[in-house]
Structure 1
Amino acid sequence: MSYHGVHRRVLDGEARSWALEALSGPVRAVRHPLGFVCLPLEREGGEGVCLHLWSDTLVHAENTTSQIHCHSWDLVSHVLYGQVRNVHAVVTDARDDATHRVFEVVSAADGDRISPTRRTVRHSTGLVEAFGPGETYTLRAGRFHSSVVPEGGQAATIALGRGRPGSRDLSLGPLGAGPHHVSRQALDARETELAVRLITAHLT
């Protein structure tokens, strides 16, 4: 089903049934550096649909920059269960008193190429939004934020992305970190089955 088809199902209140249908077929899962497991389900052109799962039951990927990032695409996120906090970051350019460097993240099939830019910044916490089951929020490309699940909490979302021309995927990281490559680790068959069971158990 296309981005538009999934979005329509979400708007019509059929997000849970769509997720169960999607999980009834073959799926793959990868550990995402931002702390969740990603199950990519649809991708066409600059549009995509994934399920995101936060659970301490599954091993997390290592993050080499930070949780604060911005997308090159407009996000629509629908919470299937649990609570997700969308924490906006106020990012200010800085030199002598900078605390972080901005890194560009270019994703490919073999992982993420992470490159430092010349931009150094400070940041503070801005608006904190909390969303629960059945709620949907949007985030425009280029807005720095982090997605936070309460410690020990379980949550899953449908994430719909639509690319915005001219935008880049960025992350805040250590001032002195250099360019590097991070491989996306696929879950094996046992862990993928566990991820599917965790989601379906909450939806049925």
Structure 2
Amino acid sequence: MSYRDVHRRVLAGRAREWALEALSGPVSAVRHPLGFVCLPLEREGGEGVCVHLWSDSLAHAESTTSQIHCHSWDLVSHVLYGQVRNVHVLVADAAAEATHRVFEVLSDAGGDRISPTGRTVRHATGLVEVFGAGDTYTLAAGRFHSSVVPEGGEAATIALGRGRPGSHDLSLGPLDAGPHRVSRQPLGPGETALAVRLITAHLT
């Protein structure tokens, strides 16, 4: 099923039905550095669809930069269950008073190559949007933000991404951090099955 077909089903109120169908077949899962488990389900060209799961029942990967990031793709996110806060971040260039450096993140099948740029910044919290089960929201490429689930909370979303030419995946990190590579940690069969059970239990 294509990005367009999944998007159409989400807008038609059939997101839960699609998720249950998609998760009934063979799936893989990886720990994402932003704190969730990612189950990639559709990928074609510059478009993709994943289910993101936040749960304390599964070990988390740790970010080497921070949770504040921006995508090279336009996001449509649908909350299957739980609560997700989309925290917009206002980023301003700074020199002597900078608190963070901007890093470019280049991803491939094996992980992320994280490279410091010459841009140093300060940031402040902007609009905080709160979304619950059944809500759908969008975020344009290039907008710094973080996705926050209440401590101890359980949540899952369908994330639809459509690449925007000329945009870059960026993250804010320590001023003195150097270039490095982060390998994605795949979940084994047992943990993958647990992730699927956690999601389907909330949807049935």
Q: Same fold (TM over 0.5)?
A: yes
Q: Secondary structure at the match of 1:151?
A: coil
**2:187 paired with 1:190:** no
How far residue 153 of structure 1 moved from its aligned partner, in angstroms, is 0.1
1:109-128 matched pairs, under 5 angstroms:
109-128=109-128
Number of paired residues? 204
Q: Report the RMSD for the aligned CA atoms in angstroms.
A: 0.3
How far residue 147 of structure 1 moved from its aligned partner, in angstroms, is 0.1
Q: Tell me which residue corresponds to 1:96.
A: 96
Cα separation, 1, equivalents of 2:56 and 2:102: 29
Cα separation, 2, equivalents of 1:81 and 1:109: 28
Q: Secondary structure at the match of 1:59?
A: coil
Cα separation, 2, equivalents of 1:23 and 1:42: 12
| Aligned-partner residue type, residue 37 of structure 1 | V
Cα separation, 2, equivalents of 1:66 and 1:126: 17
Cα separation, 2, equivalents of 1:47 and 1:78: 16
Cα separation, 1, equivalents of 2:98 and 2:5: 44
Q: Tell me which residue corresponds to 1:5.
A: 5
How far residue 89 of structure 1 moved from its aligned partner, in angstroms, is 0.2
1:39-78 matched pairs, under 5 angstroms:
39-78=39-78
After superposing on structure 2, the runs of 4+ consecutive aligned residues of structure 1 that deviate more than 6 Å are none
TM superposition score normalised by structure 1: 1.00
**2:175 paired with 1:162:** no
Cα separation, 1, equivalents of 2:196 and 2:135: 21
Q: Which structure 2 segments of 5+ residues have no match?
A: none
How far residue 62 of structure 1 moved from its aligned partner, in angstroms, is 1.4
Q: Which structure 1 segments of 5+ residues have no match?
A: none
| Aligned-partner residue type, residue 199 of structure 2 | I
Q: Tell me which residue corresponds to 2:130.
A: 130
Q: Tell me which residue corresponds to 2:147.
A: 147
Query: 1:66-112, CA deviations, whole angstroms, 9 ceiling, x for partnerless residues?
Result: 00000000000000000000000000000000000000000001100
Q: Tell me which residue corresponds to 2:199.
A: 199
| Aligned-partner residue type, residue 59 of structure 1 | A
| Aligned-partner residue type, residue 113 of structure 1 | R
| Aligned-partner residue type, residue 12 of structure 2 | D
Q: Secondary structure at the match of 2:177?
A: coil
Query: 1:144-198, CA deviations, whole angstroms, 9 ceiling, x for partnerless residues?
Result: 0000000000000000000000000000000000000000000000000000000
| Aligned-partner residue type, residue 97 of structure 2 | D
TM superposition score normalised by structure 2: 1.00
Cα separation, 2, equivalents of 1:11 and 1:72: 23
Query: 1:18-72, CA deviations, whole angstroms, 9 ceiling, x for partnerless residues?
Result: 0000000000000000000000000000000000000011000011000000000
Q: Secondary structure at the match of 1:191?
A: helix
| Aligned-partner residue type, residue 73 of structure 1 | W
